[in-house]
Amino acid sequence: MAIKNTRLEKAFQNTIDRRSFIGHALSFAVGSALFPLAACSSDASDPWRYAADLRQRIKPPEFPDRDFPVGDFGAVGDGETDCTDSLNEAIRACSEAGGGRVVVPEGVYRTGPIHLLSNVNFHVSDGATLSFYTDPARYLPVVFTRFEGTELMNFSPLVYAYEQENIAVTGGGTLDGNASYDNWWIWKKNRGGEKVPNPSKDRLTALGDAGVPPARRLFGAEGQLRPSFLQPYRCKNVLIEGIKVRRAPFWQVHPVLCTNVTVRGIDVQSPGPNNDGCNPECCRSVLIEDCRFDTGDDCIAIKSGRNADGRRVGVPSEDIIVRNCEMKAGHGGVVIGSEMSGGARNVFVEDCRMSSPDLWYMLRIKTNSLRGGFVENVHVRNVKIGTVGKAAIRVNFYYSDGDVGDHVPTVSNISVRDVTGQEVRQVLALQGYERSPVRDVQITDCRFEGVQKADLVEHVENLVLENVYTDFEG
Q: What is the model's pLDDT at position 8? A: 40
Q: What is the model's pLDDT at position 225? A: 98
Q: What is the model's pLDDT at position 474? A: 79
User: In whole angstroms, how large is the CA radius of gyration of the chain?
Assistant: 22
The three-state DSSP-derived secondary structure of the chain is: CCCCCHHHHHHHHHHHHHHCCCCCCCCECCCCCCCCCCCCCCCCCCHHHHHHHHHHHCCCCCCCCCEEEHHHHCCCCEEEEECHHHHHHHHHHHHHCCCEEEEECCEEEEECCEECCCCEEEEECCCEEEEECCCHHHHCCCEEEEECCEEEEECCCCEEEECCEEEEEECCCEEECCCCCCCHHHHCECCCCCECCCHHHHHHHHHHHCCCCHHHCECCCCCCCCCCCEEEECCEEEEEECCEEECCCCCCECCECCEEEEEECCEEEECCCCCCCECCECCEEEEEECCEEEECCCCEEEECECHHHHHHHCCCEEEEEEECCEECCEEEEEEEECCECCCEEEEEEECCEECCCCEEEEEEEECCCCCCCEEEEEEEEEEEEEEECCEEEEEECCCCCCCCCCCCCEEEEEEEEEEEEEEECCCEEEECECCECEEEEEEEEEEECCCCCCCEEECEEEEEEEEEEECCCC
Q: How far apart are the first and last CA of the chain?
A: 20
Cα dist from 294 to 142, 269, 272, 290, 381, whole Å: 30, 5, 11, 14, 21
Type of residue numbered 371: R
Residue 43 annotated among the catalytic residues of the structure: no
Q: What is the model's pLDDT at position 45? A: 72
Angle at 157 between CA 224 and CA 363, to 5 degrees: 90
Between CA 352 and CA 292 the distance in angstroms is: 10
Tens digits of pLDDT across the chain (474 residues): 333 343 344 333 333 332 322 223 333 332 222 223 344 543 457 999 999 999 999 999 999 999 999 999 999 999 999 999 999 999 999 999 999 999 999 999 999 999 999 999 999 999 999 999 999 999 999 999 999 999 999 999 999 999 999 999 999 999 999 999 999 999 999 998 899 999 999 999 999 999 999 999 999 998 999 999 999 999 999 999 999 999 999 999 999 999 999 999 999 999 999 999 999 999 999 999 999 999 999 999 999 999 999 999 999 999 999 999 999 999 999 999 999 999 999 999 999 999 999 999 999 999 999 999 999 999 999 999 999 999 999 999 999 999 999 999 999 999 999 999 999 999 999 999 999 999 999 999 999 999 999 999 999 999 999 999 999 997
Question: Is the pTM for the entire model greater than 0.75?
Answer: yes
Q: What is the model's pLDDT at position 44? A: 58
Q: What is the model's pLDDT at position 119? A: 99
Burial of 57 (0-12, 13-18, 19+ CB in 10 A): exposed
Among residues 331, 440, 455, 459, the one annotated as catalytic is 331
Cis peptide, bond prior to residue 141, ω within 30 of zero? yes
Q: What is the model's pLDDT at position 40? A: 54
Among residues 297, 298, 440, 455, the one annotated as catalytic is 297
Q: What is the model's pLDDT at position 393? A: 98
Between CA 326 and CA 393 the distance in angstroms is: 17
Residue 297 annotated among the catalytic residues of the structure: yes
